[in-house]
Amino acid sequence: MAANPHNVSATVGEETIAETALAAGVLGCEMADIAGTIDDVHRVARSQTERFADVVADVGGIVRSNERIRSAAKEAVELAADARDRVGASLTAAVDHIETGLAAVGTSLDGAVDATNEIAQIAMQTRMVALNASIQAAHAGAAGSSFAVVAVAVRDLSEKIQHSSKTIALTLTRLSDMVRSVTDASGAPGSGAATGLRGSVGTALEAFREQFDTVAARLAVLAEAADKTVADCARIDQSARGMAAEVATVEKSIAQAAKKSERLLGVSERLIEVTARSGARTDDTAFIERARAAAAELSAQLEAAVAAGEIALQDLFDERYVPVAGSDPAQFTTRYLAVTDRRFPAIQEAVLGWSDRVAFCAAVDRNGYLPTHNLRYSKPQRADSVWNAANCRNRRLFQDRAGLAAGRNTKPFLVQTYRRDMGGGSFAILKEVDVPIVVRERQWGNLRLAFRPLTA
């Protein structure tokens, strides 16, 4: 009896489709791994871009603070020189006025005290600017460490200048008191007072000049340090901006590569679906059939819950996700959670035990919210977010590419390939079949059946 050529042709066609499906599956797995790796690199690059933006902002703050220090230091040097001349002139005038009237001496000394107080005020302002600069440098971390040292040095120098200014002011105040103590009601010096006061003022003038020379030298050092710091800041600011621009360019290139890898992954997934819909049996066929049967069971369970008055239809489609306090990763509750916790586990656990290749079987709503997971992934959370990510996957919103695609699928079935984060730096390549769950002709969500693919 001759062989039927049509049967032979059909067999060859089915084998070809099966081989194509296998090749598409292998390609999908490779692309999923590549896409996942690119996504990881993209996430790091995006984080680096954000960090460099922060560094540029911090360095900019340091530059501005040090420019204020430089400005304040230069202003202090100029005012110090002016104040030195004014105080010196006041004391010299005081000596000259001793012969004509001590009241005039007191006026001259008061002017000297005012000038010295100006220097103390400038020193205090410079110290505050230096303190702000040190805070900016601390925010910049390692990039601002050298500026923090300069800011502290400027602050310490300002404190010394302020201390010296107070010492000068105290000396002048004592002289003023001496003048007032030896002045009679007419404003003329008592016997021998003029000679004694002349000596005291002369001695004070010499002490003042020595102290003021110290203040002037410190101000000059402060101004020089500020100049150098501003120049250093400007160089680092330019370098930081250049590096930030380079990182941003790399991040943009990686983002483009990520989009291309996702498109290629989509092509392989569509090829898998086409072969699955052809009617020929492939490695995916049994998983698609099992997922469709389980989705029908879950739909029937939700229909029954509404019919029995267990939950109102509007509550079954609740989209107000209430955060569970203290959960990490974040978990949420909804008004239909109790129903899915009662009615879904038996069906989902049966599918999980159906094949050792099944990684998980769980339903999600339209927004990727997974209320009731397999028991092995529904452990109570601990104070360990890494452990929680792997073992506490129920009551969570999965709004990554695969999660949203699963929740929003409206086709009879969707086949996806992706790299799943298992927690603790561990990843697994999975294929997944997503089948709609419908209640009263309204789509509630999808069943997600994930399984380990054949790799060859």
What is the CATH number for 71?
1.10.287
Lowest mean pLDDT of 37-51, 201-215, 312-326, name the range: 37-51
* Tokens found for residue 113: 């005290």
Looking at residue 252, the DSSP 8-state letter turns out to be H
pLDDT category of residue 8 using cuts at 50, 70 and 90 = very low
The amino acid that residue 265 corresponds to is L
pLDDT category of residue 138 using cuts at 50, 70 and 90 = low
Residue 180 domain-assigned? yes
Percentage of the chain with pLDDT > 70? Answer: 44
Residues 215 and 342 in one domain: no
Residues 214 and 287 in one domain: no
* Tokens found for residue 245: 């621009």
Which residues pair with residue 426 across a beta bridge?
A: 423
Residue 2 domain-assigned? no
Please indicate whether residue 422 or residue 449 has the higher confidence score (pLDDT).
449
Cβ neighbour number for residue 358 with a 10 Å cutoff: 19
Residue 106 domain-assigned? yes
Largest CA distance in the chain: 154
Which residues pair with residue 418 across a beta bridge?
A: 430
pLDDT category of residue 235 using cuts at 50, 70 and 90 = confident
- In this model, does residue 398 exceed pLDDT 70? yes
Residues 298 and 190 in one domain: no
- In this model, does residue 384 exceed pLDDT 60? yes
pLDDT category of residue 187 using cuts at 50, 70 and 90 = very low
* Mean pLDDT within 206-221: 70
Residue-wise DSSP of 75-106: HHHHHHHHHHHHHHHHHHHHHHHTTT-HHHHH
Residue 4 domain-assigned? no
* Mean pLDDT within 216-230: 70
* φ/ψ (deg, to 5) at 318: -60, 130
- In this model, does residue 340 exceed pLDDT 60? yes
Q: What is the pTM of this model?
A: 0.54
- In this model, does residue 76 exceed pLDDT 60? yes
pLDDT category of residue 288 using cuts at 50, 70 and 90 = very high
Residues 358 and 428 in one domain: yes
Residue 8 domain-assigned? no
3-state helix, strand, coil in the chain (%, to 5): 70, 10, 20
H-helix segments, 98-142: 102-139
The amino acid that residue 72 corresponds to is A
Q: What is the pLDDT of residue 64?
A: 73
Percentage of the chain with pLDDT > 90? Answer: 30
Lowest mean pLDDT of 64-73, 89-98, 180-189, name the range: 180-189
Whichever domain contains 329, its CATH number is 3.30.450.20
Residues 229 and 297 in one domain: no
Residues 90 and 234 in one domain: yes
Residues 251 and 115 in one domain: yes
pLDDT category of residue 46 using cuts at 50, 70 and 90 = low
- In this model, does residue 249 exceed pLDDT 80? no
Residues 250 and 345 in one domain: no
- In this model, does residue 117 exceed pLDDT 90? no
- Domain housing 151: 42-255
Residue 322 domain-assigned? yes
Residues 206 and 336 in one domain: no
β-pairing, 322-323 with 332-333? antiparallel
pLDDT category of residue 67 using cuts at 50, 70 and 90 = confident
* Mean pLDDT within 448-454: 90
Residues 437 and 291 in one domain: yes
* Tokens found for residue 120: 């103390």
* Mean pLDDT within 344-365: 97
Could you say which of 255, 271, 301 is where a domain stops? 255
* Mean pLDDT within 6-11: 50
Q: Strand 426-439's sheet: what is its strand order?
A: 358-365, 442-451, 426-439, 414-423
* Mean pLDDT within 119-139: 65
* Mean pLDDT within 277-302: 88
- In this model, does residue 456 exceed pLDDT 50? no
What is the rounded average pLDDT for all residues in the chain?
75
pLDDT category of residue 221 using cuts at 50, 70 and 90 = confident
Residues 428 and 298 in one domain: yes
- Provide the number of structural domains found in the chain: 2
Residues 83 and 212 in one domain: yes
Residue 20 domain-assigned? no
Could you say which of 208, 240, 255 is where a domain stops? 255
Residue 270 domain-assigned? no
Q: What is the pLDDT of residue 36?
A: 59
pLDDT category of residue 6 using cuts at 50, 70 and 90 = very low
- In this model, does residue 139 exceed pLDDT 90? no
Q: What is the pLDDT of residue 180?
A: 63
